[in-house]
Structure 1
Amino acid sequence: TSFPTESNATMTETIALFGATGGTGSEILAAALAKDYKVRVMVRSPSKIPEEIKGNANLTVVEGDFSKLEAVKETVQGADYVISAINGPMGKPKKFPVGELVTFVKELVGILKETPSVKVLLHQSGALVPDGNGGTTMTMKFMRRTIATYIIGIGPNLDENEKITQYLESVKGDVAFKTIVTRPGAGGLAPGDGEKTLVASDKPSTSAQKFKDVAAFTLEAIKDESLYGTYPYVV
């Protein structure tokens, strides 16, 4: 007879994941299944789910997009934790769907208010985005106004995440579940093997980070009560 280890989920724990085919999201999906979580994902194109995990008995794939609220409801049904790893097109400011992600998060919160199983909603933002009270650093402000906006072209992504963060700050006293907004390093995120154990901090990092490492941090963060209601940098 085998028993789950402390690092693994119990059979009753379920994660609803949005953004499961993105850089961090795909790593969260793989890592959560490896930890024996049940995972429910909503994706526009189920074909983007890797073949090697499609047949996993703990994976439920719901076809839909941000406008399909019934698909969103189906995805979060029975979930203990909800992780939002959503983002718009990176480096394509003219093609960014302004307002779409904020609208989705607002609708998601409304649905979660009617989903009593949910304990935590974690949204992944970024180090260049202020916390829910507008807190940031001079370095992050400078990088956002210069490199991020005019060279990398992610100004609209950052603006959208700032609005999401402000919204989650405004509702956290009105919802039964806890919220966390994580802010990974300003040096960018990249694929590849994990290199280090990332931790929460009140100071940002300008180092590049691996999607896999951020995913591992995310799965620890949803259970870390000290992070509930906060906006930790990930370093």
Structure 2
Amino acid sequence: MKTKEIQKETILLVGASGATGMKLVEELLHRGQNVKVIVRSPEKLPESWKSNKNLKIISASILELTDFEMRAYVTGCQAIVSCLGHNMTLKGIYGQPQKLVTDVTRRLCKAIEVNNSKKPTKFVLMNTTGNRNRDLNEPISLRQKCVIALLRLLLPPHVDNEKAADYLRTKIGQNNQLIEWVAVRPDGLINEEEVTAYEIHASPTRSAIFAAGKVSRINVAHFMAALINDATLWNTWKGQMPVIYSKVSVD
């Protein structure tokens, strides 16, 4: 009698060529997951990815996909992760598309809903501690409110991050039968080579503007992968916007 093969989940990742997205792909592959990535310039990806049987690379500009193509790529995926962001150049900050993260989040969610899968699809959005979770009415100082208001006027990517998370909070909500979501808010991203101890909070424990903490991209990737793989962890944070900090070692 043949042993029934365990079906692995498939994760679709957009923003895989970014600094955190690349760490997440590596973490998911390390965990033995099937991964699909949509990237505009696949030639820039590591050579090891191109020969990995668990990784499917889709060469496309995400916003140029038709609705039919978007639904096709979403089909069969138990989880979708967006690590999209704006390049920190003049063109990346002030050029088009200014609502990249929001528009992609909306279109991916619409594709999930049209596909009408029997089980809810997990959606993980990489966000920022500069964005408040308005479901919790998180308190911030008047000084920080003034700075955030200025960021909304001067930095379109900040508004994009806010609107993307707001779409999940207000349009998808807490009781959607087809989509469950988590918006992960890292603070002060830094580069490190190995996963270290980190902590998760429902809301920021420090000012994102005046006393920002730090977290490595590899720790963020580890947490997002754990969310997808660990049902208990997912149920703890679904419908929320957890904040992640690397723990500070004490000598």
TM-score (norm 1): 0.83
Out of 240, 247, 250, the position equivalent to 1:230 is 240
Say whether 1:33 aligns with 2:33: no
2:237, 2:41 → 1: CA distance?
Answer: 33
Against the structure 1 CA distance between its residues 50 and 135, is the aligned structure 2 distance closer, same or farther, given a 3 Å change threshold?
A: farther
Say whether 1:211 aligns with 2:217: yes
Are 2:190 and 2:215, in contact at CA under 8 Å, matched by a contact in 1? yes
Match of 1:76 in 2: 74
* Post-superposition offset of 1:62: 1.0
In the alignment of these two chains, the number of paired residues is 221
Against the structure 1 CA distance between its residues 202 and 91, is the aligned structure 2 distance closer, same or farther, given a 3 Å change threshold?
A: farther
- Residue type of the alignment partner of 2:47: E
2:42, 2:142 → 1: CA distance?
Answer: 36
1:201, 1:95 → 2: CA distance?
Answer: 34
What per-residue deviation string (whole Å, max 9, x for no partner) do you get for residues 104-152 of structure 1?
Answer: 2111111011151553101010111111537344269728827x949xx
Match of 2:167 in 1: 167
1:202, 1:140 → 2: CA distance?
Answer: 21
1:31, 1:182 → 2: CA distance?
Answer: 16
- Residue type of the alignment partner of 1:218: M
Bigger radius of gyration among the two: 2
Runs of 4+, deviation exceeding 6 Å? none
* Post-superposition offset of 1:27: 0.3
- Residue type of the alignment partner of 1:88: H
1:233, 1:195 → 2: CA distance?
Answer: 17
**1:10-89 equivalence runs, <5 A:** 11-65=7-61, 66-69=63-66, 70-89=68-87
Cα-Cα RMSD: 2.6
- Residue type of the alignment partner of 1:74: A
1:183, 1:73 → 2: CA distance?
Answer: 27
- Residue type of the alignment partner of 1:41: V
Match of 1:135 in 2: 137
Are 1:90 and 1:157, in contact at CA under 8 Å, matched by a contact in 2? no
Partner SS state of residue 27, structure 1: helix
Against the structure 1 CA distance between its residues 194 and 179, is the aligned structure 2 distance closer, same or farther, given a 3 Å change threshold?
A: same
Against the structure 1 CA distance between its residues 96 and 52, is the aligned structure 2 distance closer, same or farther, given a 3 Å change threshold?
A: same
2:158, 2:146 → 1: CA distance?
Answer: 8
Against the structure 1 CA distance between its residues 18 and 132, is the aligned structure 2 distance closer, same or farther, given a 3 Å change threshold?
A: farther
1:175, 1:154 → 2: CA distance?
Answer: 37
Partner SS state of residue 17, structure 2: coil
2:52, 2:126 → 1: CA distance?
Answer: 25
Are 1:90 and 1:154, in contact at CA under 8 Å, matched by a contact in 2? no
- Residue type of the alignment partner of 1:120: K
Out of 185, 189, 194, the position equivalent to 1:183 is 185
Consecutive unaligned residues of structure 2, counting only runs of 5 or more, are 1-5, 207-211, 246-251
- Residue type of the alignment partner of 1:214: V
